[in-house]
Structure formats: C-alpha cells, structure tokens
Amino acid sequence: MMLRSLFLAVTLCSAAPAIAQNNWKEVAIESEILAPGIAMISGAGGNVAVHYGTDGTLMVDSQFAPLAARLMAATERLGADPAKWLVNTHWHADHTGGNESFAMNGAVIIAQEKVRQRLGAGQMHRGKQVLPRPDEALPRITYSDAMTLRFNDDDLHIIHAPNAHTDGDSILHWERANVLHMGDIFFHKTTLPFIDLESGGSARGLLAAVEKALERADEGSRIIPGHGPLATRADLTAYRDMLAKVIGAVEEAKAAGRSLAEIQADNPAAPYEVADGFISADAFVAAIYNSSADERAPADAAEEAEQVEEEAAENGASAA
C-alpha cells in the first residue's frame, strides 16, 4: 500500500502542476456520443473512449486512479456494461492510472508492448522517478505493429506509432463508425505538443504519426485527441501543418550551426503557443532540438539501409 501511495503521489505531481492540487470530487466528468455505441468521456487526464454493444464494452484509457469509480459510473449511465477490454494509448499515469481498478473489475488490458515494459519497469518522467506499477495494472495482451478487434459490428484497428509522443503510442480507428482516438499524439487547443524524450518520443516520429492518422481520416471523421475537445480532420491537418513548420524551422537552424538558445530567441513556435498550456514554446523547441538524430519512419530507414548494403556489395565486387 505504501508503494502504491508513493506511486500515486509521484505520478500526480509529475503529470501537470494543476492536477496535483485537484479536488477529485469536483472534476467534471462529461460524456459525448460520437456514433451509435461510441462515446468520449472527458474529466481530468486523457480523454476516454467507450465502445459498447452486444459484444460488451471496450474502453480506451483510464485517466487518474482517483477517478476510476466515476468513470465506471459514467460508463453505466451510457447504458454500457462494465468494461471487458481496456486499451492504453501509452504508459503515462493520466491515461493508465485507473488500470488496477478496471482490471479488478474484470477488464483485460491491451497495449503496445513497450507500454507493458515501461509500466512494469518504472522510469523517469519529466525529471521525476516513477515507480513500477503492480502486476494488476499491466497489459495482459500486447502487440508489436498493429492488431484488429472485430467488436460490436465494427473493426477497431489499433496501430503502433513508433517514437512519437512516446515509443509505445497507439492510434485507434473504428472503421465503420469513422472515429479515431489519437492519445497524446494530438493535443487539441490545450497546449503545444509534449514530446516525451525520456520515453522514446521524437519530433519526426510525432509528425509521422499524425500523417498516419490523416491517411485514415476523412471530412466526416470524429477525432478524439489525448487532451482537448473533439476534433475534425481539418483540425488535425492544421496541427500537422504546425508540426511540419516548427520542426522544419528548428532543424534548418540547427543544421546551420545555431544553438538552442539562439533558436529559442527566434520563437518559431510562439505563434502557436496556447495560453496556460503546460508545454511552452521554448520547451517545444527544445524537445525538437534534442530529438534523436535519426527519426525517420522505419520504412525509410530500412530502405536506406538496404541501399547501403547494395552499394557495399557492388563496391566489394568491384574491388574483387
């Protein structure tokens, strides 16, 4: 019990300064129906999706631990059964804090394999040590690149977005309902992007993840961001354009030999800064500047590696 209490204290304090001071009973839990059998629930922490019907109930993310019972009650008000499945979009506590409660209530947790690794091992998050989570909080089913659940008359595609917000991000796409859940790949009208470098996130990976989601979305899509109000494809496109512009500006300046402080003084992200957002323009620029040197999509990296091997083979044949 002491370890769990310490875990909660660390994760609440590290998620965002305001969260640590919350009176959990005063958090407004609100539901919005997006399509038949699919709803978004907002509260404190990441937006939750609920998919319910004759096959049972699937939830996406579980917010903070103190809100688990209230999320369960909100699900019941939708007319849904208790969650049979719980998908984590990534490992952060504002999306996984309720895992234990939902698991003890019968839910099987699903996530990308790196989410289980990070939850089970504990690690640094925003400069603070996060303790390993107990076994009950860990995903029971993991996947590598993608998986599909055929559930409640829809195909739910769960797709890995490598090295984006973290290294274990999932994008969810309900094909028939035309709904996407982005996790923290997408912050909508709440803050500039948070690239968690300590958890394997990267600027180019984030941009690639948004591009991947846009390939699946159309003008009728309803897009659930990790934080913020429900969005459209046009909103996600504007977010992609912002990412491309700021990342390009920072990378170009860095390649020209400019220091981080000099680039921050140019304020390339300032036009997009959100009042009261927990990621400032300077912090966003720093995350881009300090991202991994090789952030290409895996397919691009593999193609280049293949070309290098072919050239080496040709050179070897010539030398022989």
Question: Under a CB-based contact definition with an 8 Å cutoff, are residues 195 and 206 in contact?
Answer: yes
Whole-model pTM: value is 0.86
What pLDDT is recorded for position 303?
44
Identity of residue 255: A
The CA distances from residue 145 to 19, 112, 142, 160, 161, in Å, are 32, 8, 10, 5, 8
Beta bridge partners of 48: 41
What pLDDT is recorded for position 22?
59
Number of domains in the chain: 1
Question: In 3-state terms, the chain is what percent helix, strand and coil (to 5)?
Answer: 45, 20, 35
- Asked whether residue 93 is domain-assigned, the answer is yes
CA 8 to chain centre: 20
- Asked whether residue 316 is domain-assigned, the answer is no
What pLDDT is recorded for position 127?
80
The Cα–Cα gap between 250 and 265 comes to 11
Those residues whose C-beta lies under 8 Å from the C-beta of residue 131, and which sit 6 or more positions away, are: 3, 6, 7, 10, 122
- Asked whether residue 314 is domain-assigned, the answer is no
Write the pLDDT tens digit of every residue in 221-232: 999 999 999 999
- Asked whether residue 269 is domain-assigned, the answer is no
Six token digits for residue 145: 């690149």
CB-count exposure of residue 79 (10 Å: 0-12, 13-18, 19+): exposed
The CATH number for 19's domain is 3.60.15.10
- Asked whether residue 256 is domain-assigned, the answer is no
- Asked whether residue 26 is domain-assigned, the answer is yes
Regions of the chain short of the pLDDT cut 50: 1-21, 295-320
- Asked whether residue 125 is domain-assigned, the answer is yes
Helix (H) or strand (E) holding 71: helix 68-77
The Cα–Cα gap between 231 and 214 comes to 12
Query: 278-317: b or e for each residue (b if 16 or more CB lie within 10 Å)?
Result: bbbbbbbbbbbbebeeebbbeeeeeeeeeeeeeeeeeeee
The Cα–Cα gap between 296 and 76 comes to 43
What pLDDT is recorded for position 116?
98
- Asked whether residue 51 is domain-assigned, the answer is yes
Question: Under a CB-based contact definition with an 8 Å cutoff, are residues 146 and 3 in contact?
Answer: no
The Cα–Cα gap between 121 and 132 comes to 5
Beta bridge partners of 59: 50, 86
Question: Under a CB-based contact definition with an 8 Å cutoff, are residues 119 and 137 in contact?
Answer: yes
Helix (H) or strand (E) holding 141: strand 141-143
What pLDDT is recorded for position 316?
40
- Domain span at residue 217 reads 2-232
Query: Among 283, 208, 264, 279, which residue's Cα sits nearest to residue 240?
Result: 208
